[in-house]
Amino acid sequence: MPTRDSCVLCHMPLAEGASLPNRRAGWYEGANPWPLAEDGRACDMCDQTKVLPARLSLFLQPERKSDEKGTD
Protein backbone atom coordinates (compact mmCIF):
# COMPACT_ATOMS: atom_id res chain seq x y z
CA MET A 1 0.00 0.00 0.00
CA PRO A 2 1.46 3.34 -1.00
CA THR A 3 2.19 5.77 1.75
CA ARG A 4 -0.11 8.69 1.93
CA ASP A 5 2.68 11.22 2.02
CA SER A 6 4.65 10.35 -1.07
CA CYS A 7 3.93 10.46 -4.76
CA VAL A 8 2.94 7.11 -6.25
CA LEU A 9 4.66 8.03 -9.50
CA CYS A 10 8.03 9.41 -8.44
CA HIS A 11 7.96 8.54 -4.72
CA MET A 12 8.95 12.04 -3.76
CA PRO A 13 7.33 13.39 -0.60
CA LEU A 14 4.18 15.22 -1.64
CA ALA A 15 5.18 18.28 0.35
CA GLU A 16 8.38 18.54 -1.69
CA GLY A 17 6.53 18.25 -4.97
CA ALA A 18 3.83 20.72 -4.04
CA SER A 19 3.48 23.57 -6.47
CA LEU A 20 3.97 27.12 -5.29
CA PRO A 21 0.27 28.01 -5.35
CA ASN A 22 -0.53 24.89 -3.36
CA ARG A 23 2.24 25.62 -0.90
CA ARG A 24 0.77 29.04 -0.37
CA ALA A 25 -2.62 27.48 0.12
CA GLY A 26 -1.16 24.97 2.55
CA TRP A 27 -2.15 22.06 0.33
CA TYR A 28 0.37 19.24 0.45
CA GLU A 29 -1.91 16.36 -0.37
CA GLY A 30 -0.95 16.18 -4.02
CA ALA A 31 -3.36 15.20 -6.75
CA ASN A 32 -5.34 12.26 -8.01
CA PRO A 33 -2.94 10.13 -10.08
CA TRP A 34 -5.63 8.57 -12.29
CA PRO A 35 -5.20 7.15 -14.92
CA LEU A 36 -1.56 6.43 -14.17
CA ALA A 37 -2.34 4.91 -10.80
CA GLU A 38 -5.52 3.69 -9.19
CA ASP A 39 -4.47 4.45 -5.68
CA GLY A 40 -2.37 6.90 -3.74
CA ARG A 41 -1.52 10.46 -4.57
CA ALA A 42 0.61 12.17 -7.17
CA CYS A 43 2.74 15.21 -6.46
CA ASP A 44 1.91 18.40 -8.32
CA MET A 45 4.94 18.02 -10.50
CA CYS A 46 3.84 14.60 -11.72
CA ASP A 47 0.29 15.85 -11.98
CA GLN A 48 1.34 18.48 -14.46
CA THR A 49 4.00 16.56 -16.34
CA LYS A 50 2.54 13.05 -16.35
CA VAL A 51 -1.03 12.77 -15.15
CA LEU A 52 -2.59 15.63 -17.08
CA PRO A 53 -0.99 14.64 -20.40
CA ALA A 54 -2.11 11.06 -19.81
CA ARG A 55 -5.66 12.20 -19.21
CA LEU A 56 -5.59 14.37 -22.29
CA SER A 57 -4.33 11.55 -24.44
CA LEU A 58 -7.09 9.33 -23.12
CA PHE A 59 -9.67 11.78 -24.34
CA LEU A 60 -7.96 12.90 -27.50
CA GLN A 61 -6.70 9.62 -28.85
CA PRO A 62 -9.00 6.90 -30.04
CA GLU A 63 -8.36 3.48 -28.55
CA ARG A 64 -7.08 2.14 -31.80
CA LYS A 65 -5.43 4.14 -34.49
CA SER A 66 -7.23 4.05 -37.74
CA ASP A 67 -4.60 4.85 -40.25
CA GLU A 68 -6.33 3.20 -43.11
CA LYS A 69 -5.54 3.95 -46.67
CA GLY A 70 -7.94 3.14 -49.43
CA THR A 71 -7.45 -0.49 -50.26
CA ASP A 72 -10.11 -1.01 -52.86
CB 17 within 8 A of CB 49: no
DSSP single-letter state for residue 40: S
Give the nearest distance from C-beta 10 to Zn ion in angstroms: 3
Instruction: From 20-28, 36-44, 56-64, give the range in contact with Zn ion by CB under 5 A.
Output: 36-44
Give the nearest distance from C-beta 30 to Zn ion in angstroms: 8
CB burial readout 47-65, b (16+ within 10 A) else e: beebbeeeeeeeeeeeeee
Instruction: From 18-26, 32-40, 43-51, 58-66, give the range in contact with Zn ion by CB under 5 A.
Output: 43-51
| Binding region for Zn ion (CB under 5 A) | 7, 9-10, 43, 46
